[in-house]
Amino acid sequence: MNFKHIIIQGIPKKLPSKKTYDSSVNRAPKRKDILSVKEKKLAISNALRYFPKIWHKELAEEFKLELANYGRIYMLRFKPVYQIYARPIDEYPAKIKEAAGIMMMIQNNLDPNIAQHPDELITYGGNGAVFQNWAQYLLTMKYLATMDDKQTLHLYSGHPMGLFPSSKKAPRVVISNGIMIPNYSKPDDWEKYNALGVTQYGQMTAGSFMYIGPQGIVHGTTITLMNAFRNILKKGETTKGKVFLTSGLGGMSGAQPKAGNIVGCISITAEVNVLAAQKRYDQGWVDILISNIKDLVLFVKKAKSKKTTVSIAYIGNVVEVWEKFLIEKIDVTIGSDQTSLHNPWSGGYYPVGVSYEEGNIMLKDDPKKFKQKVQESLRRHAKVIRAHTEKGTYFFDYGNAFLLEASRAGGDVMNKDKSDFCYPSYVQDILGPLCFDYGFGPFRWICTSGRSEDLKLTDKIAEKILLKIRKNAFKEIQTQLDDNINWIKNANSNNLVVGSKARILYANAEGRIKIALAFNRAIASEKIGNIVLGRDHHDVGGTDSPYRETSNIYDGSKFTADMAIHNVIGDSFRGASWVSIHNGGGVGWGEVLNGGFGMFLDGSDLCNKRIKNMIFFDVNNGIARRSWAKNANALLAINKEMKKTPKLKVTIPENVNTSILDSLF
């Protein structure tokens, strides 16, 4: 059977042979053994729903073993034997191109060159799942291959509930991940219901098929780091010879060394998992691997004296580096952390003093002790960061819940009156005021032809449009435009593509709409093939996350999630090809609701309307909410937008004189 036939078959007619455990790929850590015997039976019975009765006896034994060995039932035997990667769109069996585009995005998210734990269908962040198991993948691909443009596929946490009649204008796929009854949305609830096979943690772009490899994050990280340096460097100072110390070379964190090189500093990224570090090294994302702390100190001192731009991966625990640099008096200009602390008890953060291998064993055999070690480590981590910041280091939380978990562990991360953290998040200081409030966010596109020439042409188109917009741009957004013009000019030579031919660019509503319309024209005139548009959920309007995307909202509404819900509903009837809404992403289950979309460009007039209507709403819904919270930059942006767009009428807040309030109490 060829690839197309295998896809259309869905669940195979013949039981595939059993797979042997492949330890050469990066495997997900064993998840917590949380189910009672009764619940384990339910989990196995849930899994068997996908298969004919005749296989149940054999599969029941195997699924029991998977549950015991991995804490989840992945149905590893059903992983297809064909290679999984973003194929050119014409290679997919499909009645409609829109569906083929979605299949391509799914495969890109499961490509072993991209996915963190490909066998367990995890794309990034330790637990960011595309599907819970291989049966869901097989069935979804079959539904997409057979659907027409008057049907919509509904996915419940990876499970394809089915195709429902809809209309041409409706989204082709509606995705929800991890949505729970709010009172049942605590970390152990997630472990339990995920183990039962009824929910999954879709992260942001994994469960919405919009992850495009670390490139997506390199750009955001570069912008963050660049502006972090701008915020603190004194006049005349440059990034040369300045140290950026952080951790994590995983899915997103792996972008840090590359960003450090683009910015021109010395970056040290600690990583406990040698396989993760090696992967980034092999891809050319980090210059050098060092596993001995003494060698690291010597190397950094030399690089500082020579002001070399270099990115170093230290194979070991980040706390060791912070502590050693304190003793060795190595000044850290900027510090951060990108361990997966949104997932602290299941392998997101490895405690200092315990090797990676020992940590994994402890996690499996003694999760209580592991948790205790993580909390001890976080207290030590916080203490040494405090010592560095007192000497001048600028430390910011990178949206990985470091401050949240360190505070829960009793670490020294609070301000004097204990009312708030003593360090800002990168959104509070940098991305919020400088980007999100003006509507700049991680817009992206994917060339479905798989041709590099298409990508090059789209880069040129985007550059031309940004240059045109820059001519009349108001002064507050000129730097953002300049950074992005610079980015897109160099994007190709930075060699950032892993997997599909994709590009990311921070743009505001005007930029996103004009670029998308220009792409649609180029498709209509057959200069390029079809394009998929999308964005990271980590954006202006899709995500309510009080410790990250909406951390710079100060009217109390950061603990509400209306914006994300309006985003996904609003996008769905304005022209998205698929929409998604997730509980959890980045900062953890129960800590965030995030919405996203994908849009397939086919060169048609209808597509022009969709672009104008949907992208406009997607961005301005977020700016409106930010302006209602009285964020000055968002107010400026939305007032300007209302002048340009008469049909936009946003409620504008009135400022209150604080003396009136003070006189009340």
Ligand X SMILES: NC(=O)c1ccc[n+]([C@@H]2O[C@H](COP(=O)([O-])OP(=O)(O)OC[C@H]3O[C@@H](n4cnc5c(N)ncnc54)[C@H](O)[C@@H]3O)[C@@H](O)[C@H]2O)c1
- 174 vs 403, beta carbon nearer ligand X: 403
Q: How far is the CB of 106 from ligand X (least distance, A)?
A: 19
Q: Could you tell me the strand order of the sheet in which 243-247 lies?
A: 288-290, 310-315, 266-271, 243-247, 334-335, 394-395
Q: How far is the CB of 272 from ligand X (least distance, A)?
A: 4
- 225 vs 516, beta carbon nearer ligand X: 225
Is 399 among the residues that bind ligand X (CB under 6 A)? Answer: yes
What is the rounded CA–CA span in Å between residue 87 and residue 448?
8
Is 586 among the residues that bind ligand X (CB under 6 A)? Answer: yes
From 236-244, 340-348, 462-470, 572-580, span contacting ligand X (CB under 6 A) = 340-348
Closest CA to 144 of 120, 169, 114, 175: 175
Q: Which residue has the tokens 């309006």?
A: 566
Question: HEC string of 582-620?
Answer: EECCCCCCCCCEEEEEEEEECCCHHHHHHHHHHHHHHHH
Q: Is the CB of residue 206 less than 8 Å from the CB of residue 342?
A: no
Among 101, 250, 534, 570, the residue binding ligand X under the rule CB under 6 A is 250
For 315, the token pair is 């194979």
What is the rounded CA–CA span in Å between residue 331 and residue 233?
14
H/E element holding 151? strand 151-156
Q: How far is the CB of 122 from ligand X (least distance, A)?
A: 9
From 88-96, 335-343, 452-460, 647-655, span contacting ligand X (CB under 6 A) = 335-343
Q: Is the CB of residue 596 less than 8 Å from the CB of residue 175?
A: no
Q: Is the CB of residue 251 less than 8 Å from the CB of residue 28?
A: no
Binding to ligand X by CB under 6 A, coded x per residue (else -) over 84-123, reads --------------------------------x-------
Is 30 among the residues that bind ligand X (CB under 6 A)? Answer: no
Is 251 among the residues that bind ligand X (CB under 6 A)? Answer: yes
- 171 vs 586, beta carbon nearer ligand X: 586
From 40-48, 100-108, 157-165, 393-401, span contacting ligand X (CB under 6 A) = 393-401
User: What residues numbered 218-247 form the site for ligand X, per CB under 6 A?
Assistant: 220-221, 247
Q: Could you give the 3-state DSSP secondary structure of residue 296?
A: helix
Is 339 among the residues that bind ligand X (CB under 6 A)? Answer: yes
Is 124 among the residues that bind ligand X (CB under 6 A)? Answer: yes
Cβ burial of 38 (10 Å; 0-12, 13-18, 19+) is exposed
Is 194 among the residues that bind ligand X (CB under 6 A)? Answer: no
- 126 vs 171, beta carbon nearer ligand X: 126
- 140 vs 273, beta carbon nearer ligand X: 273
Is 325 among the residues that bind ligand X (CB under 6 A)? Answer: no
Q: Could you give the 3-state DSSP secondary structure of residue 240?
A: coil
Is 276 among the residues that bind ligand X (CB under 6 A)? Answer: yes
Q: How far is the CB of 16 from ligand X (least distance, A)?
A: 29
Q: Is the CB of residue 280 less than 8 Å from the CB of residue 315?
A: no
Is 552 among the residues that bind ligand X (CB under 6 A)? Answer: no
Q: How far is the CB of 22 from ligand X (least distance, A)?
A: 19
**CB-closest chain residue to ligand X:** 250
Is 340 among the residues that bind ligand X (CB under 6 A)? Answer: yes
Cβ burial of 226 (10 Å; 0-12, 13-18, 19+) is buried
Q: How far is the CB of 533 from ligand X (least distance, A)?
A: 20
Among 10, 101, 118, 126, the residue binding ligand X under the rule CB under 6 A is 126
Is 398 among the residues that bind ligand X (CB under 6 A)? Answer: yes
Is 257 among the residues that bind ligand X (CB under 6 A)? Answer: no
Neighbours of 36 (CB within 10 A): 9
Please give the size of the binding site for ligand X, defined by CB under 6 A: 34
What is the rounded CA–CA span in Å between residue 659 and residue 253?
45
Q: How far is the CB of 417 from ligand X (least distance, A)?
A: 28
Neighbours of 57 (CB within 10 A): 9
What is the rounded CA–CA span in Å between residue 613 and residue 634?
20
Is 248 among the residues that bind ligand X (CB under 6 A)? Answer: yes
Going by C-beta distance under 8 Å and a sequence separation of 6 or more, which residues neighbour residue 292? none
- 283 vs 449, beta carbon nearer ligand X: 283
Site residues (vs ligand X, CB under 6 A): 116, 124-126, 217, 220-221, 247-253, 255, 270-273, 276, 317-318, 338-342, 349-350, 398-400, 538, 586
